[in-house]
Structure 1
Amino acid sequence: MTPKTEDELAEVIAGTTSPLHISGGGTRPVGRVVNGDPLSTSKISGISIYEPGALTLVARAGTPLAEIETALEKEGQMLAFEPMDHRTLLGTKGTPTVGGVVAGNVSGPRRIQSGACRDFLLGVRFVDGAGSIIKNGGRVMKNVTGYDLTKLLAGSRGTLGVMTEVSLKVLPKPDTAAVLLLRGLSDELAVSAMSAALGSPYDVSGAAHSPQGLDGGPVTMVRVEGFETSVEYRAAQLKELLAQFGPAEIERRNGNDGGQGYEAGWRWIKDVEAFRDKSSVCRISLKPGASPKIVQALREKLAFDCLYDWGGGLLWIAADHNQLEQIAAEHSGFDDLGKGDRGAAILHSRIQDRVGQAGGHATLVKASDAVRNTVSVFQPEAEPLARLAQGLRRQFDPKQILNPGLMD
C-alpha cells in the first residue's frame, strides 16, 4: 500500500486490524523483522513551505532527503544534524526520506556541536494507530506544555504513528572548514585528544577516530567550521593544543573549492563506509571516556573492528564473516542458529551486557533476519521505562498494528 495523501493514509489505518510494516524509502531496516502488510509513505512527498529567512522548512514525510538538501544548498543552508545515509553500510537500495530520518532520529558527526535530529524538529503531523490525524508543534522553536509529541515521535520508528509532515529548523552552511589529522594514536589517547578539543573554546563540529583509517593506520580527526578567518585561527589554536598528543596536519575546504579529500573523509565517518562489507554492525552510545575500556574488555575474548565518533560518545563495532565464525567456535550459546549467525548473536549480546553495565545502550544495526529476530536489537530497558514505553504504544496504537514487535 502506498497512499498518496494524508487522508488516504488515515483511511487505510482506520480500516484495518492487520499488522502494518511501515517504511519510507526502505533504506534503514533496523529492528526486528515486522510481519505485516507493507505500507510506504514514499508518495506523500514534496516541500510544503521553505522560508530561508526564517530558517524553517516544512516537508511531507516521503520527500527524498536529496530533494531537501538540494533546495537548502541553493540558499546556502543545511540540515545541521548531518544525517547518515545507511545505504552504503546496509547495502540497501531505495531513497532516504525526511520522514525516515526523523523516525530514526538519524544524526551524524555534527551532533556533538549542533544537537540531534529531534533538536531541530519544530513540528509534526502524523496518523496514529486508530487512524486519527494529529498535529503537534509548529514552525517556530518554543517551550511546550503537556506532551511534546515532536520529540516523542523522533526515534519511534513508526511504532507510535505514521508521520505525514515534518517542520525543521535549518542553519546556514559554513563557508569554510578545516580538519586536524593526528596519526598513530592509540584508542585511549585518541579519545583524550578528542576530549581536549571538545573541551576547548574552539567550537569543534566533529571528532572521530579510526584505528584503521583510509591509509590503514590509526587516524584521529577534529573538525572546525565557520568563516575563513575564524576557522584559520581556531585550527591553529587546536594544533597547538593537540601537540601534546602528537603533530597534527591541517586539511582545509574553502567555499566551493571541492575539498575532495576533506569531504570523502567525513562521509567515510558519517556513513560508516569502513564497515560496508561487515556481516554484523552494532551502534553504541555511552560516555566517551568509557569507549576504549569497553573495546579493550570485549577484545580479551572477541574479535571485531571499531570506529569512534562524537569524541568517543558513539562507538561502532563490526565483525566480518571470519571473525563471527571464530567467535562461534570459541563461545557457546544460540545453538539454534548457523555458525556465522551464532557468532553475531554472541557478539551483540556480550556488547549489550558490557555496555549496559557502563550506563550506555547498544543497537544492532546490521545482521541477518535470523539474528535480528533472536537477540534484543535495542538495549533492554529498565522495567519502569519498559512499562512506560508499552503504555505509550497502547495509547497511540490501540490496535497494535504499527510496526508491531519492531522495537522488542
Structure 2
Amino acid sequence: MALALGSSAEASSAAHLPERIASRVATGHLGSDAATLLRVEGFGPSVVYRIEALRNLLGKAGPLQEIDGETSKAMWRDIRDCTPFADGAERPVWRVSMAPSQAHHMVMALRMQAAVDAFYDWQGGLVWLSMREDDPEAGLLRGLIRKYGGGHATLVRASASHRAALPVFEPQPQHLAALSARLKAEFDPKQILNPGRMAPGAGSATLARPTEGSAS
C-alpha cells in the first residue's frame, strides 16, 4: 500500500482485508484469500493511465484484478461501514486510529494475547478490530497502542455492561482531561448536555419547572 500511495498513480484509498475478512465485502466478490485494495478515481483516460502505472509498479507483488462499476462501489462502501463485523452479535468492535507504519505491529502483538479479527483502511491508519470473545480487552489494547506510537481506540460495539464500565472514547491525558472538564463546567455548569457520555464521572441534572411558592 505504501508503495502505491507513494507513486504518481494517485490512488485515493488503500485497504487490506486479511483471510476470513475479504469474503465479507461486496457479497463475496473477492473470494476468501487476503486482498489489498487500491482505489483510483477521476476522468476515464486518467484512470486507465494510472491503473496501468500501478500494474507496472506492482506486477511482481502477485495477481492483480481490476474491479469497477457497482461492485467497486459496494466494496468500498462495505469497508467504510465496517460491514465485515456487522453480524448482529454483541462481540466488541473497536475503531483504532494510529500511524499506518505501526498498526500491523500492534495487531500482531494483540493477537499474541487475545483472539481478534482485523482489517485495515486508510493505508493501515484505520484498524477495525472484532474481538472473538466477550471481553473488549480495553486495557491490553490501549496499552499496545501507546507502545506502538500512540493513537485512539473507540469502542464502537459491546454489551451494555461493558459500555457502562469502560471509557468508550480514548481517555485523555490528565492535563487535557482537566482542561476539558473546566471548559465543560464553563459552558454547561448544570451538566445538562450529555452527562457522562463523552467522559466518565460527569454528573447528571434534572430539569424541573418550579411550582408556585417553591424555589429551586
When normalised by structure 2's length, the TM-score is 0.82
Name the CA distance, whole Å, in 2 between partners of 1:250 and 1:392.
51
Segments of 5+ residues of structure 1 without an aligned counterpart are 1-193, 253-258, 325-339
TM-score scaled by structure 1?
Answer: 0.44
Which residue does the alignment assign to 2:28? none
The letter of the residue matching 1:205 is S
SS in 1 for 2:192: coil
Q: Which residue does 1:294 correspond to in 2?
A: 106
Post-superposition CA distance 1:362-391 (Å, at most 9, x none): 110001121011112111111121122222
Partners of 2:54 and 2:186 in 1: CA distance: 50
SS at match of 1:394: helix
Q: Structure 2 unaligned runs (5+)?
A: 24-30, 200-216
Counterpart of 2:22 in 1: which secondary structure?
A: coil
- 1:229 corresponds, among 20, 34, 45, to 45
Aligned length: 187
> Is the 1:363–1:378 contact (alpha carbons within 8 Å) kept by the matching residues of 2?
yes
Q: Is residue 363–residue 379 contact of structure 1 (8 Å, CA) maintained in 2?
A: yes
Deviation string 1:206-260 (CA, Å, 9 cap, x unpaired) is: 11111030222211110010111111111111122122422321123xxxxxx22
* Aligned residue in 1 for 2:13: 206
Contact 1:197 1:204 in 2 (8 A): yes
CA distance in 2 between counterparts of 1:391 and 1:198 reads 42
What is the match of residue 376 of structure 1?
167
Matches within 5 A, 1:179-328: 194-211=1-18, 212-214=21-23, 215-252=31-68, 259-277=69-87, 278=89, 279-319=91-131, 323-324=132-133
1:303 positional shift = 0.4
Contact 1:282 1:348 in 2 (8 A): no
RMSD over aligned CA atoms reads 1.4
For residues 24-46 of structure 1, give each alpha carbon's deviation from its aligned partner in whole angstroms, at most 9, with x where no partner exists: xxxxxxxxxxxxxxxxxxxxxxx
**1:362 aligned residue:** 153
Runs of 4+ in structure 1 deviating by more than 4 angstroms, as ranges, are none
CA shift, 1:265, in A, is: 0.8
Decide which structure has greater strand share: 1
**1:51-130 correspondence runs (5 A):** none
CA contact (8 A) 1:281 1:317 kept: yes
Separation in 1 of the partners of 2:117 and 2:141?
Answer: 13
